[in-house]
Structure 1
Amino acid sequence: MLIRARLSCGPSASCAALARRLGLILLLGFLGGFSACTITPPPKPLLLIPPAAINSATLDDYRTAVAKHIVERNPSYVLHGTPQAMLRSLVVVSFTVDRNGQIVKSSVYRTNGDDDAETTALATLRRSAPLPAPPGRLLNSAGQLEMFEDWLFNDNGKFQLRTLASPQAQNFQ
């Protein structure tokens, strides 16, 4: 296939440079196909996680405050006493909290596929919003803190949070 093009060069443009650009565009188009061109967006900026947010007493204290807050806001769903030996379900929820304690996002991170337990875990988290505001030294560079919590469900649908959970029963009853 022969393509002819007429180039007009003004006083500020070099005809040779313009021809090279056009040739490069046409060559790339025919070699790779115009439909196969991809545009790579610039990478997202990395979120810097402060050292205090990784396995620290401050993080443990905040995790405990959040767990207590969730339990206080959802008393009818909370299991009191000893969880049964074989739990009905374990639902791990990932959630992100902003500097004001607002839940920015939440999702089920790991589960055994118990839809009712997953729904209860996410609903009780949302019902607890806003959560206590996290200490500033735990926030990442976006002013947020990502956390995980485990909801441990008995057969009756009631749960304990792993952060506050009693030891499980050792015998099946």
Structure 2
Amino acid sequence: MRFTRWFTAGWAALLAACGSQGPAPSPAVVSPGAQQATVAAAHPTGPSRSWDDYKMRAARRIHETSPAETFAGPLPDPLRSIPVLQVQLNHDGSVRHINVLRMPRQSPETVEMAMRAIRRAAPFEPVGHLPQPWQFNETFLYNDDLKFQLRTLAEAP
């Protein structure tokens, strides 16, 4: 598939180029009681053992909390929009900041849509037991109806 080869090569180049980070903004304020209940309900199997496991759980949570904005099935070729976001987290799994790593030329409004999906899914599980930096990247794959699949889930075995 033409898109897959291009996307894989482009993703590798993007990851290589995105090693630097800017200053961290102040943490978001979230009610501890509400956050603990949300995290416990979303992650009943215990803490993630690695960043790969964490990213998969975060992707599932984003997908589950945005059912009206997602689509299933094969990816269209070409996709309408592909924003790539870096999610910086606080120790407790709340979102500290979201950086845009790739701004799509086609349908740039999908960046804000993707950010809303991440914020809706937050807080994620705590990350204090994982190595720093406490962050993960996610690629949103939008179709012509402006519904998304997450690259992490689309590539899962």
Determine if the TM-score, normalized by the shorter chain, exceeds 0.5. yes
Cα 1:135–1:80 change in 2 (3 A) is farther
Aligned length: 108
1:53-84 CA-partner distances (Å, limit 9, x unpaired) = xxxx7111110000001011111111111110
Residue of structure 2 in register with 1:131 after alignment: 124
Q: C-alpha displacement at 1:132, in angstroms?
A: 1.8
Contact kept in structure 1, 2:142 and 2:148, CA below 8 Å: yes
1:120 paired with 2:113, answer yes
Alpha-carbon separation, structure 2, partners of 1:134 and 1:72 = 20
Alpha-carbon separation, structure 2, partners of 1:98 and 1:133 = 8
Contact kept in structure 2, 1:66 and 1:131, CA below 8 Å: yes
The DSSP-based 3-state class of the residue aligned with 1:88 is: coil
Residue of structure 1 in register with 2:18 after alignment: none
Cα 1:131–1:137 change in 2 (3 A) is closer
Residue of structure 2 in register with 1:153 after alignment: 142
Structure (1 or 2) with the greater helix fraction: 2
Q: What runs of 5+ residues in structure 1 fail to find an aligned partner?
A: 1-43, 45-56, 168-173
Residue of structure 2 in register with 1:82 after alignment: 74
Q: How does 1:101-116 map to 2 (within 5 A)?
A: 101-113=93-105, 114-116=107-109
1:110-161 CA-partner distances (Å, limit 9, x unpaired) = 1223222111111111111111222613234xxxx02111000001100011
- Higher-Rg member (1/2): 1
Residue of structure 2 in register with 1:67 after alignment: 59
Which of 88, 94, 107 lines up with 2:86 in the alignment?
Answer: 94
Alpha-carbon separation, structure 2, partners of 1:135 and 1:64 = 17
Tell me the percent identity.
30
Cα 1:157–1:130 change in 2 (3 A) is same
TM-score normalised to the size of structure 2? 0.63
Alpha-carbon separation, structure 2, partners of 1:104 and 1:67 = 17
- The CA RMSD over aligned residues, in Å, is 1.9
Q: Which amino acid aligns with 1:153?
A: Y
Alpha-carbon separation, structure 1, partners of 2:57 and 2:101 = 21
Q: What runs of 5+ residues in structure 2 fail to find an aligned partner?
A: 1-22, 24-48
Q: Which amino acid aligns with 1:74?
A: S
Structure 1 runs (4+) deviating above 4 angstroms are: none
Cα 1:91–1:100 change in 2 (3 A) is same
